[in-house]
Amino acid sequence: MKRAIPLLLLLCATPAAAQQTVSANPALAVGTAKYMWELMTNFVTKAAEQMPEADYAFRPTHDVRTFGQLVGHVAGAQNLICAAALGEKAGNEDDIEKSTTTKAGLLTALRASSQYCQRAYAQSDAASAGATTLFGGPSTRLRALVLNATHNSEHYGNMVTYMRIRGMVPPSSQPAPPRTGTQ
């Protein structure tokens, strides 16, 4: 997680600056958002894979989502936000969270939403400067991409807490696999 902090700070500074300077400094646009999104989505997916199915119903307190609901929420939010980033129509954010409860079903939905988002993060910096509507208000497509990466980061933090309470080591704290071959 330590390696992600400087990039997260850059990403947090990116939304306002990027909306005004996409053409002046495209290195801060889609590529930065995509890097953070891939990093966090990978951690969210690994956490979802590693949590035992019995713990998908776990919630630290009665007034927060279960672990499974978090997975469903991330999948649904990705569908909604990436649709905005692509200028496409989306379903409701909570469709998956309210309809899918099994680990297998939630992992399938999470992977499908991530696959859908790959298209959104593949757009050019110029396209990301285009207008869209997000949560009923005007936005740029880039802002939607940054929000999606930030949202996944926020909920990965929730998942870390759930995993720690259950005595598990979250993916971002697990040792990296050894490198093989010449790099």
The 3-state secondary structure of 149-176, one letter per residue? HHHHHHHHHHHHHHHHHCCCCCHHHCCC
Enumerate the domain spans of the chain: 2-170
Residues in the chain: 183
* pLDDT tens track for 38-93: 999 999 999 999 999 999 999 999 999 999 999 999 999 999 999 999 999 988 88
Q: Are 169 and 47 in contact (CB under 8 A)?
A: no
Pick the CATH number of 2-170 from 3.90.1150.10, 1.20.1560.10, 3.90.1010.10, 1.20.120.450: 1.20.120.450
Residue for token pair 């979250």: 170
Q: H or E stretch including 119?
A: helix 103-121
Residue type, 171: P
Give, in order, the Cα–Cα distances in Å from 18 to each of 9, 32, 137, 169. 14, 10, 18, 35
* pLDDT tens track for 7-40: 444 444 444 444 444 444 545 689 999 999 999 9
